[in-house]
Structure 1
Amino acid sequence: MTARDDMKIDSPLFRAVITRTWRANPDAPEWSGRHKSGSVTYVYGPYVTPGPAKAWITREKNEAARRDDGLSTVTGVIETCQPAWAPLES
């Protein structure tokens, strides 16, 4: 369910912020990019309830556990905001 579905006038919005971090793998070939450490952050949302955001975090953590290469970790948080709507000048 996206923010377009069932959104009320003063509804808060929610999103999932997921960060995947990995350590360098000295055994990986240099062309693969896995010989370096790094991280990437993904944002999913907005949603009108926290449920879909929580589901994204669970999905990403389960996928990381399934791979369990010992080199990467996944963390996730749910963020919320109260939008302040204003007319857009045309």
Structure 2
Amino acid sequence: MTTQNPPRRFTPMSQFATDYPVLLIDSDAPLRELHNCISERLNAVLPYLQLMGCTSLPDYAENDINTVANIARILLQDVSDVFRVIEQRGFANAKGE
């Protein structure tokens, strides 16, 4: 299977379920919008993990814990991917100064 790379403007997000990148980050999006994207995910996952950390494990089945961990992993991977784009833009701008 031949995969084409997306245009440079779009950075693929990490994916584990597909062979071809289907979710892309617009590298040219305003920094405020990129920041809002990662803030939303962090503000969702941190209280979620806090809740799970305060929950008694015997109350849940193993499958439930795996689901919680997978949701947190996906959200945190999104944050990491968008941070990478922000950092690349920041470093590129710093070199141009």
TM-score (norm 2): 0.28
Larger of the two Rg values belongs to structure: 1
Higher relative contact order (CA 8 A, sep 6+): 1
TM-score, normalised with respect to structure 1: 0.29
Structure in which a larger fraction of residues adopt helix:
2
Higher strand share: 1
